[in-house]
Structures are given as structure tokens and as C-alpha cells.
Amino acid sequence: MNLIDTLNWRYAAKRMTSEKVSDEKVTEILEAINLTATSAGMQPFRVIVISDPEIKQKLQAASFNPQVSESSHLLVFASYTHVSQAHVDEYISLVANTRNIPVESLNDFKEKLSGFASMPEEFVKNWAARQAYIALGTALVAAANLKVDSTPMEGFDNAAFDEILGLKEKGLQSAVILALGYRDEGADFLSKAKKVRIPLDELTITLN
């Protein structure tokens, strides 16, 4: 199946069965997330992977969608609440080690990134959350490629999620969540509905 066919197959499943997504497929989706584009490659977010039914049930009480507890795996995209100089130093060391280049050769790059450490907190929070959303898009496509259903969700109590998962202590805040599983065609009235999208020439504005 080509990419467009795969994306036509994909939709936000409203109800999910109890079938589990294999560890191999979950790992592949996570690997795709790890390869997603992010600003300067800094990846200012983490992905909390939850399959424990008890934890999902606690989170269900702080959300508005049954897919939270019905999912095989729930991914919580948690973005940075701040960027410290230590974050920058660690990233620069990673670049140098990965590419086998002197860390000193990255001084100019490091200086630019160090600006994040002095940015207002609200700016950093918004920037980091947008990076998490880019990763969410990659996850949606990766899951569809594996014929794994997914549902992106913003309908949850961020503060409650942060408390249940202990995110504040990690310098993180929940940005968006993604349920992974398999559609329940009997319970989901949209499972066989035709995808509704505006015409491409209405969506796009071409400047020649």
C-alpha cells in the first residue's frame, strides 16, 4: 500500500478492541518518533509509554476519551518546561560523539543554542510543545504504515496527567497524547465512514 492509500486508511479510532500491539511494532513507532524533525535537532520532549492497565485507568479519570483506557499503549508526549545550559552542553556532546568531531568545532552552534537557556519560560514551553506536535505527526504516519490504529487527543486534564506521571519533577509537562491499538468496528460508527477532506485546490495556495 502506498503512502496516500495508507493515510486514507488511517483515521482517529473512536473505540478500540482489547487486542495488543506487538512490542516490535511499538518499538518501530518509537524509533520513527526518535527520527522526527525537531528544531536544531534538540528533541525537547520525552515520550511516556504506558501499557499498565492501572495507570491507564487513573489517566482515564482525567480525560474525556475512552481510548485512554482501551488503548493497547498510550503515548504521552511531554515537552520541556525549560532549557538549561546543561541541556545544551549534553546535546553538543552528543553531536560531537555521534559525528566523531571535536566538541570545540561546535562552539558557534553551542553559542546559538545557549540562547534558549535565557529565553522566557513561556516561550520555551510553547516552542517545546510545538516540537512534540511535530513528533506526534510522525507517530501517526508510522502507526498507519504498520496498520496500527491511533487516536491523537488533547481532551485531558494536563495538570492531573502531570501529577499522576510525576512529570513536573522531570522538568516536563504533558502536551498531547496518542492512543495505539486496533479499531473496534462494531462499536465505532466511524470505522467505515468515508474520509472527509476539503478539495486539494482549496487547501493549498500556490504562488508561482
Does residue 190 sit in the same domain as residue 91?
A: no
Number of folded domains that form the chain: 2
Domain span holding position 96: 85-116
Q: Count the neighbouring beta carbons within 10 Å of the beta carbon of residue 29.
A: 26
Q: Where is the domain boundary, 116, 132, 164?
A: 116
Q: Tell me whether residue 208 is in a domain.
A: no
Does residue 125 sit in the same domain as residue 192?
A: yes
Q: Where is the domain boundary, 116, 133, 165?
A: 116
CATH code of 25's domain = 3.40.109.10
C-alpha cell at 92: 553538543
Local confidence pLDDT in tens for the 208 residues of the chain:
699 999 999 999 999 999 999 999 999 999 999 999 999 999 999 999 999 999 999 999 999 999 999 999 999 999 999 999 999 999 999 999 999 999 999 999 999 999 998 999 999 999 999 999 999 999 999 999 999 999 999 999 999 999 999 999 999 999 999 999 999 999 999 999 999 999 999 999 999 9
Residue 183: strand pairing partners: 16
Q: Tell me whether residue 179 is in a domain.
A: yes
Q: Count the neighbouring beta carbons within 10 Å of the beta carbon of residue 90.
A: 11
Cα separation of 14 and 30, whole Å?
22
Cα separation of 19 and 21, whole Å?
7
Does residue 89 sit in the same domain as residue 78?
A: no
DSSP H helices, the chain, are 3-9, 23-34, 53-60, 67-70, 85-99, 107-113, 121-145, 158-165, 200-203
Does residue 146 sit in the same domain as residue 79?
A: yes
Does residue 10 sit in the same domain as residue 108?
A: no
